[in-house]
A and B are shown apart, each in its own frame.
Chain A
Amino acid sequence: MKNWMDSLKPKLRSMQESFYLLARNRLSLFALILLCVIVILALLAPWIVPYPQDIADEAHIADKFLAPSGAHWFGTDELGRDVFSRVVYGGRVSLSTAILTVGISLLIGVPLGAIAGTIGGRVDNVIMRITDIFLSFPPLLLAISLVAILGSSLTNAILAIAISWWPWYTRLVRGQAISIKERKFVQAAETIGTGKLKIIFRHIVPNCISPVIVQASMDMGGVILTVASLSFLGLGAKAPTPEWGLMISTGRTYFPDMWWCCIFPGLAIFITVLCFNLLGDAAREILDPKTRKR
């Protein structure tokens, strides 16, 4: 137990240091705070939104298309549902799909890339040819065709995006792995007699992970956009799920008169994606070895 605590301390210290470096840049600190707010709102959505029942298919036709006001901050939609409640709740949907999608892609992409890069030769060839095949399709197009095959639902959209996304991580990690395996500590591990698997997963992967974190946080934004696009095209979330893309899609019929139905979900997408990108930039700066003392 004591040892465990002891090994935790340095990790905490390096996290503190990362935060210090991050906080040095106002913009990234702002992005981080905003993102935290978005995540907290999303987590607490069921308890804090003013009209939780509006998340479902409930209709109050009498209240439809109310302009933003004190009672309905973002106005109401074509069924009289509170747009604010739905936008906040939508964060839950978007964030969880983004995390799931990126998570699945990482789980497939990172180990494959590390194995390809480290072992090289035939294994590398096979893995990279497979990724090449996936990479030769534009990701959105591939996702759309996959959903068309699997049937349109949010789960299938997540799967489809993950399938079109992992090869990017494989490519990225493979490149890293190739350069990391030349580092002397890997050669030292080889002379010590450390097993191949341990070398890949304990030496190579942790050292490849910095650019992956940067990429992944940028991709979170990208995935949110893609999910929204699929939903917008009717290939992702189904009504009445409060998904941002879907909300824009339904709302666009009434644009520009009932602008609030589109603008607020749109703003939510914009801000979240921007935050993830800013955070990705910040992560790049922090993880760049040049800004850290060696």
Chain B
Amino acid sequence: MAYFEINHLLVKHKSFEGVKTVLDIDKLSLEKGETYGLVGESGQGKTVLALTILKLLQCPPGIIAQGEILLEGEDLLKKTEKKMQAEIRGRRIAMIFQDPMSCLNPVFTIKDCMVDTLRQNHKGMSKKEALAAAVDLLKEVKLADPESTLVKYPHQLSGGQRQRVIIALALCCGADFLIADEPTRNLDVTIQASILKLLRELQKKHHMTVLFIANNLSLVGAFCDRVGILRGGKIIEEGPADQVVSNPREDYTRLLREACETKLEPTNDSREEILLKVEHLKKYFDINDEVKHIRHQSLKAVDDVSFDIHCGEVLGIVGESGCGKSTLVNTILDLFEPTEGKVYFEGKDVFQELKARQGNAFKKNVQIVFQDPYWSLNPRWLVKDIVAEPLDVYEKLGEAERIRRVEELLAMVGLPEDACYKYPHEFSGGERQRIAIARSLASNPKLVVLDEPTSSIDVFSQNQILDLIKDLKKRFGLTNILISHDLAVVHELSNRIAVMYLGKIVEFGPAEEIFEHPRHPYTQALFDAIPRIGETGMEGIRTLEGQIPSPINPPSGCPFHTRCPMATQRCKEEIPQETYYNERHYVRCLYAEQSNENGGTIQ
């Protein structure tokens, strides 16, 4: 008998549109100590499976029609709610959710939360003991400075830190079966790698069984022993990880695999003329620290950034969350008041024009596509009104002509005509992103900024979106700024790349050059964090440890010295200046020359 087994499970969903089958799993079994990866796009029932195992599925609308879920021979579906709560959840099966915020109560500090959970699960534990245990657990999940983390509220932590706290909570009660539902979704590649490493370590140490849910085959290939592919609620393929990844049997698996491979090559259409020029742009936020009662500190989100973009070029901006990528473009787009600096669009000073209320040409010519397609479209508008919003501002069209234009735009991004009369919530993440792209093209802009256009959607749709962007760029001769935390994404489309860290550009140069010889230690770290398809095991993934320092009190000298593997005393004292390799490629590192001499990587 296997440690964990699911037999003939059938779960249905009853809604306004009728009853549909969400899960139909004939057999799924896990041996003790095994890591099983379940892969599928969103909407295939992965989360429903996780919730069903813990009997947390909301019923109705859910219906568990038949089946058994056996944990060491005991059927969980037959257990009462009380028994599940007292014996199973947390005690034997722990779960890590894809959205860590939703399982931490925002009004409690991490300390309250952990001490509570610990004392509930270990009868007779005193407050003091619980606190000590909490500190130990936080150390175990490698949170730097556990004491100060304990007194914080969930919203004060970064995504990666929150996920670590959740893992610590899962460890609290000594469960030996862990269900991780897309634990690294929406996290940066660097953070993702370190979380996976941590999970692997803990699993070995506590001899845990792990059901790992993901939408990305390369992640699972690296992390799991066995892999199952879930599609339409059924497991369509199953086998050892390396076999499924390297030699997929089903077409669908092959598609999933292809989705993880970088295949696009940027085209170079860049011309001589400069479209946008940014000069010494700074954006400092004035903030008050409520905890320490310090008022009016400045948070240097963008600190003296200069660059220019040629017509027809794609400029990629990479860096971890919080390094100022979005603030940079939002300031350029006048969503934030700039602190200092100038932006020229086609030679004209943008901020001055906007002040003189002559910024219409700029607004019409520069559009943005945001990261999260769930919040970037007004949920109360029909798609036709969403896409037509720029048309309504710049061209007054009759209704028939307006609809015709919208249909044309929708066709361009690969959506059917009848999408016009639907609401955004009727579309998947990838489709919504297409709607957002259609809207951004409606005013015939010259520059389209794409702020993490693929980060919140499935790997599967990601490549399609990137393809589309590339295609549209060619058709309309667009210039793009492409922002991502994932160097691989940026590489697929960009001609030049800017790497940002703590509000500053630390490396800037032609994409091929940076991709072949990343010069700055930070750029290298970003590279090493990308899981590569076909590599099994975690050895290939190197991680960048440590947190991004606060931009309120950036480290002295080189801002990267707190995490740089090659930092020296000199790095703490001296601020590195731009060192040019050639007139198009520079790096901000004190030891840049050396790396230049030995022809590539700094070692």
Contacts and interface: CB of A to CB of B under 8 A. Distances in A.
Interface of A: 3, 6-7, 9-10, 14, 16-17, 20-21, 24, 183-185, 187-195, 202-203, 206-207, 292-294
Contacts of B60: 24
Given A191-B333, A191-B366, A193-B394, 18 more contacts: A7-B382, A20-B15, A183-B376, A184-B371, A184-B376, A185-B375, A188-B368, A188-B436, A191-B363, A191-B367, A191-B368, A192-B390, A192-B393, A203-B378, A206-B378, A207-B380, A294-B374, A294-B425
Given A185-B377, A207-B378, A293-B425, A192 B363 contact: yes
Interface string B352-386: 00000000100110111011101111111110100
A225 B370 CA distance: 48
Contacts of A193: 360, 363-364, 390, 393-394
Contacts of A24: 60
B410 to A, nearest CB: 14
Contacts of B390: 192-193
B12 interface: no
A206 B422 contact: no
B379 A207 contact: yes
A17 B330 CA distance: 38
Contacts of A183: 375-376
A261 to B, nearest CB: 46
Nearest to B377: A185
B423 interface: yes
28 contacts: A3-B399, A6-B421, A7-B384, A10-B421, A14-B423, A17-B16, A183-B375, A184-B376, A185-B375, A185-B377, A187-B368, A187-B370, A188-B376, A188-B439, A190-B334, A191-B334, A191-B367, A192-B390, A192-B393, A193-B394, A194-B389, A194-B392, A195-B393, A206-B380, A207-B378, A207-B379, A207-B380, A293-B425
Nearest to A11: B382
A192 B377 contact: no
Nearest to B373: A184
Q: Which of A183, A194, A206 has the most CB of B within 10 A?
A: A183
B420 interface: yes
State the 3 A-B residue pairs at the shortest beta-carbon distance, nearest first: A193-B363, A184-B376, A206-B380
A292 B363 contact: no
A194 B16 contact: no
Nearest to A294: B425
B274 interface: no
B400 interface: yes
A292 B424 CA distance: 13
Could you say which interface size class chain B belongs to?
35 or more
Contacts, number: 81
Contacts of A184: 370-372, 375-376
B458 to A, nearest CB: 15
Given A16-B16, A188-B376, A191-B335, A292 B360 contact: no
Contacts of A9: 421
Contacts of B16: 16-17, 20-21
Nearest to A16: B16
Given A3-B400, A10-B382, A184-B375, A192 B443 contact: yes
A191 B449 CA distance: 11
B488 interface: no
A16 B15 CA distance: 12
B403 interface: yes
A200 to B, nearest CB: 13
A188 B421 contact: no
A208 B506 CA distance: 42
A6 B400 CA distance: 13
A16 B18 CA distance: 13
A293 B335 CA distance: 30
Q: Which of A3, A189, A192, A206 has the most CB of B within 10 A?
A: A192
Nearest to B364: A193
A26 B367 CA distance: 48
Contacts of B392: 194
A10 B425 CA distance: 12
Contacts of B400: 3
B387 to A, nearest CB: 11
Contacts of B393: 192-195
Interface string B388-405: 011011100001100100
Contacts of A10: 382, 421-423
